[in-house]
Amino acid sequence: MDSKLDLLLQKMKLLENELLVELQAKEEQFRYEIRQRKVHFTEAASAQHRKFAKTIRHYLIDARPLSLLTAPVIWSCLVPMLLIDLWATIYQFICFPAYGVPKVRRRDYVVMDRNKLRYLNPIERVNCVYCEYVNGLIAYVQEIAGRTEQYWCPIKHALRLKTMHSRYPHFLDYGDAEAYRKHIEQVRRDFEDLKNK
């Protein structure tokens, strides 16, 4: 299963890890550190942030009228998202033990840390919490779906995908019937990389 595509996907993962290291270097530049999964800014950084906070009055005056009118539509997605969150969590807790698939840790995907940014006013902070929740939730559900797909149908696509979930590199090549029959059970249980994390 070590095809050129698999090697390219491994290189992409290495570059992704390199990007994460570079992003973590920003901690020093912007004077914060992470302790026990919580962000802690220095007092000087927090004071500087407060200088850049826009008052709610100015924020609303500067807002485009259409953005104010569409806000209820955006927020209306919250109820279905909460239901998806609940159902995806229940689903994996029921099904994954039956398949021998490791559960997805929600906290690895739903990261809520923008409320620490004091240059955001309360409206901006609430909006950021909403966005980080929804986007984190989608990533969480995608990982659950990817692990499910690895168990039930681990076959790469012939058509190009815009994005791939984390389990995709483990899948069998499209059209390789012999490898599918020969390795399907092995691929279904190939979650060793998750145990090392």
What digits encode the pLDDT tens for the residues 70-100? Answer: 999 999 999 999 999 999 999 999 999 999 9
Instruction: Assess whether pLDDT exceeds 90 at residue 38.
Output: no
**Are 34 and 111 contacting, i.e. CB atoms less than 8 angstroms apart?**
no
The whole-number pLDDT of residue 23 equals 76
Containing domain of residue 107, as a range? Answer: 4-195
The whole-number pLDDT of residue 11 equals 87
The count of domains in the chain is: 1
Instruction: Determine what percent of the chain is predicted with pLDDT higher than 70.
Output: 98
Dihedrals φ, ψ of 161, to 5°? -95, 145
Of 160, 163, 161, 179, give the one whose Cα is nearest residue 171.
Answer: 179
Mean of pLDDT over the chain = 90
**Are 130 and 104 contacting, i.e. CB atoms less than 8 angstroms apart?**
no
* β-strand partners of 34: 39
Question: What distance, in Å, lies between the first and last C-alpha atoms of the chain?
Answer: 22
Residue 20 CA to residue 91 CA, distance in Å, equals 30
Predicted confidence band of residue 2 (pLDDT cuts 50, 70, 90):
low
**Are 1 and 172 contacting, i.e. CB atoms less than 8 angstroms apart?**
yes
pLDDT digits (tens, 9 = 90+) for 89-141: 999 999 999 999 999 999 999 999 998 898 999 999 999 999 999 999 999 99
If you ran DSSP here, which 8-state letter would residue 42 be given? Answer: -
Beta-sheet pairing, 38-41 with 32-35: antiparallel
Residue 66 CA to residue 56 CA, distance in Å, equals 17
